[in-house]
Amino acid sequence: MTAAGTATHGGVAAPGMRWAWFWDVPEFRRAMGLILVFALSTFLLLPLLTLLLWAFADEWRYPNIIPQSASLKWWDWVLTNGDVGQAVRWSFITARSPRLACTWPLRPSFSA
């Protein structure tokens, strides 16, 4: 391999041949883009699917891939519990604090 990135064969540079020649093929670039989008989508959406299954699962034992039974009994508990509203309120209050702490030094100074 030479400094210019051309392939060598027996110490002699092969003109026009790069080590990353496959990136010049449009079909390959398109396929790699689709594979990357699919892999990233799977990486991000698969945990959300599991979370959705757990939200309605009543019983889910180890060897099974899907829950044995589904119910809304936990949703009933969440929606009727008075502490949940307080927790949501506290989350919104505390979520602002780090944002304000981080952006306070970035505010423009008008005391010039």
Summarize the confidence of residues 16-42 as an average pLDDT: 88
Q: Which residue has the higher pLDDT, 24 or 7?
A: 24
Is residue 31 a contact partner of residue 38, using CB atoms and an 8 Å limit? Answer: no
Q: Does 112 map to a domain? A: no
Share of the chain above pLDDT 70, in %: 78
Q: Does 64 map to a domain? A: yes
Domains in the chain, number: 1
**Domain assignment of residue 43, given as a range:** 6-106
Query: Residue 11 — very low, low, confident or very high, per pLDDT cuts 50/70/90?
Result: low
Summarize the confidence of residues 31-60 as an average pLDDT: 92
Q: Which residue has the higher pLDDT, 100 or 60?
A: 60
The continuous run of DSSP H or E covering 55 comes out as: helix 26-56
Q: Does 19 map to a domain? A: yes
Q: What is the pLDDT of residue 39?
A: 96
pLDDT for 50 beyond 70: yes
